[in-house]
Structure 1
Amino acid sequence: MDCPKIIDGGKFSDDRGIIFFNNTFDASEIKRIYFIENNDTKFIRGWTGHKIEKRWFTVLSGSFIIWLIKIDDWDNPNEDSEILKFQLYSEKLDVLHMPKGYVSAIQAMESKSKLLVMVNYSFGKIDDDYRFPIDYFKKL
């Protein structure tokens, strides 16, 4: 089973400046990208899920919490499913991989935080968007 995981990035600095890198992230599946910038740090964007699509998340500025839940039955998801919590920061280029079959909720932890989202399908190629109210699953 494919499980969510953080692909560790890094940072190098010298007298010329700073390089943020992720030498182990394989971007060959990526077909599209977009940014998320929430209006405030209290807002939680979610729950949005995908049976087929995969997602990769990396923070370009600030920090985010991303909660993930594995969905086995999309017609009747378990409201008490285990919630996985990940924190990502812009201090290095960590990438969170969300395999297919998960829903996500996203919250910025700092004002003006920017999250880059990468997807393995082009926009409009498949109908794979499932949305649940933010209070559908256990409280965050």
Structure 2
Amino acid sequence: METPQIIKGGKYSDDRGNLFFNNNFNASQIKRIYYIENADTKFVRGWTGHKIEQRWLSASQGSFTIRLIKIDHWEKPSENLPILKFELNSGQLDVLHIPKGYVSAIQSREEKSRLLVMADYFLGEIADDYRFPIDYFENFK
């Protein structure tokens, strides 16, 4: 079973400017991309997950806290499952891989942050969208 992991990117700087790279990220499975921009830093977008679809996330502007939970039973998951926490920032081109079977909660850490989301299925290709109230697993106040 796969677990979420950060695929480390990097940054090269010289007198011409900056080059952000991720030479370890294989994008061959990507079929769709989009951006998320939360309304403000207090808003938490979640809990949304996928049994089948996997996602890759990268902060293109600002920074984010990403919380992930591996779901045990999709119809009525346990409320006290372990929460994994990841930090992404646009200072280098890190990519967080979220395998199938996880729900996520996404929070901007800076105003005007932008998160690139990549998925391995086209929109509408499969019915695989599961949503739970934001306070179902963790109390965000």
Map of 1:18 onto structure 2: 18
Give the counterpart letter for 2:139 in structure 1.
K
Matches within 5 A, 1:1-140: 1-139=1-139
Secondary structure at the counterpart of residue 58 of structure 2: strand
CA drift of 1:81 comes to 0.2
Give the counterpart letter for 1:42 in structure 2.
K
Give the counterpart letter for 2:45 in structure 1.
R
Q: CA-to-partner distance for each residue in 1:41-87, whole Å, 9 max, x for gaps?
A: 00000000100000000000100000000002111201000000000
CA drift of 1:139 comes to 2.6
Identity rate, percent = 67
- Taking the aligned partners of 1:56 and 1:20, their CA distance within structure 2 comes to 17
Gaps of 5+ in 2: none
Gaps of 5+ in 1: none
TM-score by structure 1 length? 0.98
Runs of 4+ in 1 over 3 A off after TM superposition: none
Secondary structure at the counterpart of residue 59 of structure 2: strand
Q: CA-to-partner distance for each residue in 1:102-138, whole Å, 9 max, x for gaps?
A: 0000000000000000000011000000000000013
- Taking the aligned partners of 2:110 and 2:27, their CA distance within structure 1 comes to 27
Secondary structure at the counterpart of residue 105 of structure 2: strand
Give me the CA root mean square deviation. Answer: 0.7
TM-score by structure 2 length? 0.98
- Taking the aligned partners of 2:139 and 2:69, their CA distance within structure 1 comes to 13
Q: CA-to-partner distance for each residue in 1:90-111, whole Å, 9 max, x for gaps?
A: 0000000000000000000000
* Aligned length, in residue pairs: 140
- Taking the aligned partners of 1:45 and 1:77, their CA distance within structure 2 comes to 19
